[in-house]
């Protein structure tokens, strides 16, 4: 059952309570490999569900448009201070509602309609808000994209430099949503300096690894760092923008009043809690284990004939091209879900198929590492993935795998769920 327990919700709205219980059980029973998801701690859950949701606080600490900020101000200041300390930055804005608004604030702060910026192509691992034609960032601005090499699956820094020299972008984005390799922040910074661009590191996926010392930090290289707080960082659904002193005012104005109204104070509090947790020594161990698990899973999948983009991973994320397995990413993801393995279908670089039915799947190890799984279990997961992909139309075989998975996960407690008493 859900923990903390939800007796008031059950009394007021049993239908909704039953759905919450069902989701908790689902999260408990599945191997969750969606690279952008995790399990938050009970402390983060409690902050998220607190009375702080009742309060309006447009503005920033000490400069609000509503009274009654005696408690909210220190909460937001605490979150800011913890972010500054953990990431080694001058300034932190903890108000963005999520990653997309955080990136839109960057656009608003540094560009005007039609201005040019440089970013990683979405199909090569970027993000919608990095200039996809279907996003406002692609409709109202002029994105120019770099990509990864067809053979290497890695960003080619020479291409980035050449494009930056030719296009003179206002902003250069590095980072994205499907990058299995280490981002070379110093190299991006050098290019940005040479071409007069603001370097923005979108570290949404790797923020927990950066905080835990398992990925190099963009601090000291990127003038602006955007991140969600709910992926490897293991906080509530929200976001932050961290900056050098130079860019602090522009970013703050872009978030409020530029894009948003009142901050979600319950989320701000939960971010503060997550940042405190991420500053602990055990979080460093956790971050290292995420990477060790991803590398073990990558190795075991490669042994079973899976084609990994870039040949492996340096972080929490694995991107697989299923073309050689003779199955599309979407039917594979759906079969895997029925087998108790939750992930997402994903485009791969140079994908000949469409985004709604692409060639790949994306896997991440942040959530299974929170459950306490280690390298030995990654071999089992690779075997299950292989069996499920090979038996995508065999419901009995998928059901057998799901039962084996429930059996394993029964020994690994989930924060937010406990057995019924």
Q: Give the residue numbers marked as catalytic.
A: 56, 58, 202, 228, 231, 237
Residue 285 tokens read as: 């161990």
191 touches 160 (CB < 8 A): yes
- Choose between 232 and 293: whose C-beta lies nearer to ligand DSN: 232
Cβ 369 to ligand DSN shortest distance, Å:
17
Q: Binding mask 1-40 vs ligand DSN (x if CB under 6 A, - otherwise)? A: -----------------------------------x----
Radius of gyration of the chain (CA): 21
Binning the chain into helix, strand and coil, the percentages to the nearest 5 are 50, 15, 40
- Choose between 34 and 390: whose C-beta lies nearer to ligand DSN: 34
- 229 touches ligand DSN (CB under 6 A): no
The C-alpha atoms of residue 264 and residue 271 are separated, in whole angstroms, by: 11
247 touches 222 (CB < 8 A): no
Q: Across the strands, what pairs with 341?
A: 31
- Choose between 164 and 291: whose C-beta lies nearer to ligand DSN: 291
Q: Which of residues 348-407 bind ligand DSN (CB under 6 A)?
A: none
Strand ranges inside 188-284, DSSP E: 198-202, 224-228, 239-243
Cβ 99 to ligand DSN shortest distance, Å:
5
Cβ 204 to ligand DSN shortest distance, Å:
6
Q: What is the DSSP letter of 114?
A: T
- Choose between 164 and 271: whose C-beta lies nearer to ligand DSN: 271
Q: DSSP assignment of 274-317, as one string? A: HHHHHTSHHHHHHHHHHHHHHHHHHHHHHHTT-EEGGGS-SSSE
Q: Exactly one of 135, 137, 177, 289 binds ligand DSN (CB under 6 A); which one? A: 177
Residue nearest to ligand DSN (CB): 36
- Choose between 177 and 265: whose C-beta lies nearer to ligand DSN: 177
Cβ 97 to ligand DSN shortest distance, Å:
13
Strand ranges inside 24-112, DSSP E: 31-32, 59-60, 63-64, 91-93
Q: Which of residues 35-54 bind ligand DSN (CB under 6 A)?
A: 36
Q: Which of residues 100-129 bind ligand DSN (CB under 6 A)?
A: 127
Sign of the C-alpha dihedral, residues 328, 330, 331, 337? positive
Cβ 314 to ligand DSN shortest distance, Å:
17
Q: Is the peptide bond before 82 cis (omega within 30 degrees of 0)?
A: no
Q: How far is CA 93 from CA 42, 262, 313, in A?
A: 24, 13, 31
Q: Exactly one of 59, 96, 99, 223 binds ligand DSN (CB under 6 A); which one? A: 99
Count of residues of this chain found to bind ligand DSN when the rule CB under 6 A is applied: 4
- Choose between 248 and 343: whose C-beta lies nearer to ligand DSN: 343
Cβ 357 to ligand DSN shortest distance, Å:
17
Residue numbers of the site for ligand DSN (CB under 6 A)? Answer: 36, 99, 127, 177
């Amino acid at each position: 059952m859900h923990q903390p327990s939800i007796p008031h919700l059950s009394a007021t709205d049993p239908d909704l309570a039953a759905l919450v219980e069902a989701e908790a059980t689902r999260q408990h029973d599945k191997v969750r490999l969606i690279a952008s998801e995790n399990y938050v701690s009970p402390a983060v859950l409690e902050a998220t569900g607190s009375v702080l949701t009742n309060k309006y606080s447009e503005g920033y600490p000490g400069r609000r448009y509503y009274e009654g900020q005696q408690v909210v101000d220190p909460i937001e200041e605490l979150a800011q201070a913890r972010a500054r300390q953990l990431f080694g930055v001058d300034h932190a804005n903890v108000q963005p509602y999520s990653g997309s608004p955080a990136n839109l604030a960057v656009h608003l702060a540094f560009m005007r309609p039609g201005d040019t910026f440089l970013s990683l192509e979405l199909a090569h691992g970027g993000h919608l808000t990095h200039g996809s034609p279907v996003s406002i960032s692609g409709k109202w601005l002029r994105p120019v994209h770099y990509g990864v090499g067809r053979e290497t699956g890695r960003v080619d820094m020479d291409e980035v430099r050449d494009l930056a020299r030719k296009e003179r972008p206002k902003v250069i984005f590095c980072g994205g949503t499907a990058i299995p390799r280490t981002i070379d922040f110093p190299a991006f910074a050098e290019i940005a300096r040479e071409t007069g661009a603001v370097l923005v590191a979108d570290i949404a996926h790797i923020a927990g690894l950066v905080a835990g010392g398992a990925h190099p930090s963009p601090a000291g290289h990127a003038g602006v760092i955007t991140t969600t707080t709910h992926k490897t960082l293991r906080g509530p659904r929200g976001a932050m923008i961290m900056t050098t002193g130079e860019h602090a005012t522009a970013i703050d104005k872009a978030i409020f009043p530029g894009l948003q109204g009142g901050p979600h104070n319950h989320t701000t509090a939960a971010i503060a809690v997550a940042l405190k947790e991420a500053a602990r020594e055990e979080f460093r161990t956790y971050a290292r284990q995420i990477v060790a698990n991803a590398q073990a899973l990558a190795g075991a999948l490669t042994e079973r004939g899976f084609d990994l983009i870039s040949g492996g991973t340096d972080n929490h994320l694995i991107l697989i091209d299923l073309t050689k397995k003779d199955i599309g990413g979407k039917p594979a993801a759906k079969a895997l879900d029925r087998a108790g393995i939750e992930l997402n279908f994903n485009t791969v670089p140079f994908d000949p198929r469409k985004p709604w039915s692409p060639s790949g799947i994306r896997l991440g190890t942040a959530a299974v590492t929170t459950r306490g799984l280690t390298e030995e279990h990654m071999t089992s997961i690779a075997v299950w993935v292989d069996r499920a992909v090979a038996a995508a139309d065999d419901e009995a075989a998928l059901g057998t795998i799901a039962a084996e998975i429930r059996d394993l996960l029964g020994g690994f407690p989930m924060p937010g769920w406990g057995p019924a008493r």
